[in-house]
Amino acid sequence: MTTAVIVDVVRTAVGKGKPGGALSGTHPVELLAHVLREIVQRNGIDPAQVDDVIGGCVQQVGEQALNISRSALLSAGFPESVPATTIDRQCGSSQQAAHFAAQGVIAGAYDIAIACGVESMSRVPMGTASIGKDANGPGVAARYPEGLVNQGISAELISAKWKLDRDALDAFSAQSHQRAAAAIAAGHFDKEIVPITVTDAAGEQVEHTVDETVRASTTVEGLAGLKPSFYTDAYAARFPEAQWIITPGNSSPFTDGASAALIMSEEMANKLGLTPRARFVSFSVIGDDPMLMLTAPIPATKKVLAKAGLTIDDIDAYEVNEAFAPVPLAWAHELNADPAKLNPWGGAISLGHALGSSGTRLLSTLVNHLEATGGRYGLQTMCEGAGMANATIIERL
């Protein structure tokens, strides 16, 4: 069977996903074009050799509409002959893109593919694609007559089900910032971040190279002063078990960013004189309860471990997306996972969650962490809207 390998994976440093954020003045097509251009140039790849570009993006409307992956590769100067598609598996969109790219290589459909993702939450805010529309339709409404809830309520329900209190959530969140700040100070992200020239608030052209959402000064005491984000009288009456402990401090911030992974067959990498950094071992994607919504990483992880013939103890690092603090905490409890291996360089609470980009962003950090520590196996998983999750296991080469 053909082996699918990761030759390289890059990302922008993230920007705050609001007006005035470091990347807010950059069109999302140009964010994605930047990482596409960089990943082929720094590996000496002729872009004409790329069989397909598969991109993730969640809010595919406005500046992110009309197959943004195709627009981005044209902006990046790729030949017109290179195709592209844009997919939406919610927060896991670019992780799914990596699955599709690797699976295409394994199947023999591709020799070289790029998986990528982008989201500009400052320019195309979350929820824009469904404004004024009944996105779910009457069949879903009939199946769930009390109504599905937003992800913040799901995080509240997970906290209650796993008996996670405010102190536990805020302690995990503060640790995320501390780990990310330490990783930045140590230069751990330097290999994955490709500088991008942006216009700052003073109108000057500057290089953006450091994740803007990391706050090294974050403490549990400081987070304790934040108010709950999702409490309403109606939800309180409906969910009496909820503790109302989800705040901006234990949630991932709105973020702008783009990322890309160069994936090919091991044979093609050898032919081109490239050294693969990791190989794909196994994949899973699964659906789960759309009310709890954020719990699917648990069965997805169990499935991907079984497919790989590995146990959680065989894994040297886990990247579990920190959409909300209860998600990785419940996951770690159910998997009996080592907390030291969980998001060791910080996660989305500190590094941000640029929806469509997060899958390949996590992959970039996982590959670099394995190389920096000499680890062999890495596992990546993330919750996705409507109760889904992808999980991936890679092996450092």
Catalytic residue set: 91, 353, 383
Cα–Cα distance between 198 and 183 in angstroms, integer? 23
Cα–Cα distance between 95 and 275 in angstroms, integer? 22
For residue 248, give the amino acid letter: P
Cα–Cα distance between 2 and 38 in angstroms, integer? 26
H or E, element range at 85: strand 84-87
Q: How far apart are the first and last CA of the chain?
A: 17
For residue 197, give the amino acid letter: T
Specify the 3-state DSSP secondary structure of 332: helix
**Cα 188–chain centre separation:** 18
Cα–Cα distance between 289 and 239 in angstroms, integer? 16
Is the Cα torsion angle 223, 226, 232, 237 positive or negative in sign?
positive
* HSE of 71, CA atoms in CB hemisphere, 13 A: 18
H or E, element range at 119: strand 112-120
Quick one: tokens of 152? 């913040």
Nearest to 120 by CA among 382, 349, 353, 373: 353
The crossing angle, in degrees rounded to 10, of helices 326-335 and 166-185 is: 100
